Amino acid sequence: MQNAVKRIGVLTSGGDAPGMNAAIRSVVRSALARGIEVIGIRRGWQGLITGDFVQMDSSSVSRIINRGGTILYTARSEEFRTEEGQKKAAATCKLLGLDGIVAIGGDGTFRGAQALSRHGIAVVGIPGTIDNDIVCTDYTIGFDTAANTAVECIDRLRDTMQSHERCAVVEVMGRHAGYLALYVGLATGATAVLVPETEYNFDEHVADKIRQARLGGRTNFMIVVAEGAASAMAVGEEIREKLGLDPRVTILGHIQRGGDPTAKDRVLATRMGHEAVRVLAEGGTNKVVIDRNNEIIAMDIDEGLSMMKTLNGQEFEVMRAMTGQ
Provide the 3-class DSSP secondary structure of residue 5.
coil
What does the buried/exposed string (b/e) look like for 226-250 if buried means 16 or more CB atoms within 10 Å of the residue's CB?
Answer: bbbbbbbeebbebbeeebeeebebb
Q: Taking the CA atoms of 146, 150, 151 and 152 in sequence, report the sign of the dihedral they define.
A: positive
Give helix 107-117 / helix 83-96 axis angle, nearest 10°.
Answer: 70
Angle at the Cα of 245 from the Cα atoms of 239 and 246, rounded to 5 degrees: 95
The stretches of 166-262 forming alpha helices (DSSP H) are 179-188, 202, 208-215, 232-243
- Residue 135 neighbours by CB distance under 10 Å: 16
Active-site annotation holder among 107, 131, 265, 291:
131
Whole-number Cα distances in Å, 210 to 20, 73, 162, 192, 233: 39, 43, 14, 8, 17
Bridge partners, 8 (sequence order): 38
Helix-then-strand count for the chain, H and E:
12, 11
Check if the beta carbon of residue 175 is closer than 8 Å to that of residue 162: no
302 is catalytic: no
Residue 304, Cβ density class (10 Å: 0-12 exposed, 13-18 middle, ≥19 buried): buried
User: Which of 139, 137, 140, 152 lies closest to 188, judged by CA?
Assistant: 152
Which residues form the catalytic set? Answer: 131
